Amino acid sequence: MTARGRAILGGLSLIVLAALSYWSAADLPVGSLRQPGPGFLPRVLAAALAVLAALHAWRGQVEAEPGETQQRPVILVLGLMLAWGALLTLLGFLPTTALLLIGLMRLVWQVPAARAALYGSAAALGLWLLFVKLLGVSLPAGLLA
């Protein structure tokens, strides 16, 4: 994509966001200057965003970062992290975290499977000792309860 294309894409998505946020605040009372209501600032902000986004789409230039980039590992990381959030209460901190670490090392950083399993489990245990035992953060025990 060209530098102009990226600016237009960014600007147009933000105009959609501005419209959505205006609609989401449409039911809130604006109030008066004497007593500004909860809908006052959201509307002003939605309008400001629309104007700025239009300006960006019209005149902006967004240069790409130099070098090759890869999308697959980024999506993989986000998916694995979301899975952690979904499984945490069910399985408990230790197994979920060990699985996430092993998954990240193996799939994203291509660490050999045996080494990933070893380091991942050890690191999960270390984090549990640090946060639960030392810092007193309460994390779900799940299966190990």
Partner 1 sequence: MTPFDGLLHGLLVAVQPLHLGFCLLGVLVGTAVGVLPGLGPAATIALLLPATYRLDPVAAAIMLSGIYYGSQYGGSTTAILVKVPGESSSLVTCYDGHEMARRGRAGAALAIAALASFAAGTLAILGLGLVAPLVGRIALAFGPAEYAMLMLLGLVLVARLGQGPVVPALIMVVLGLMLATVGQDPVSGLERHTFGIQELIDGIDLVPVFLGMYGVAEVLAQIERREPPPRPVPTGRLWPSREEARAAVPAAARGGAIGFVLGVLPGGGATLASIAAYLAEKRFAAGRDRLGQGAVEGVAAPEAANNAAATSAFVPLLTLGIPANGVMAMILAALTLHGLRPGPQLVTQQPDLFWGVIASMYVGNLALLVLNLPLVGLFVQLLRLPYAALGPLILVTCLIGAFAVTGHAGEAVLAVAFGALGHGLRKLGFEPTPLVLALVLGRPFEEALRQALQLARGDATVFLTKPIAAVLLAAAVLALVAPLLLKARPRHG
> What is the binding site for partner 1 (CB under 8 A)?
6-7, 9-10, 14, 21, 24-25, 28-29, 32-38, 40-42, 45-46, 48-49, 52-53, 55-56, 59-60, 62-63, 65, 67, 69-71, 73-74, 77-78, 81-82, 84-86, 88-89, 97, 100-101, 104-105, 108-111, 119-120, 123-124, 127, 131, 135-139
Our CB check for partner 1 shows the closer of 67 and 145 to be 67
Residue 95 CB contacts under 8 Å (≥ 6 apart), including other chains: 142, 143, 144
Length of the chain, please? 145
Which secondary structure element, helix H or strand E, spans residue 115, and what is its range?
A: helix 113-128
Distance from the Cα of residue 52 to its chain's centroid: 24
Note whether 138 and 92 are within 8 A (CB): no
User: To the nearest whole angstrom, how small is the minimum distance from the Cβ of residue 16 to partner 1?
Assistant: 13
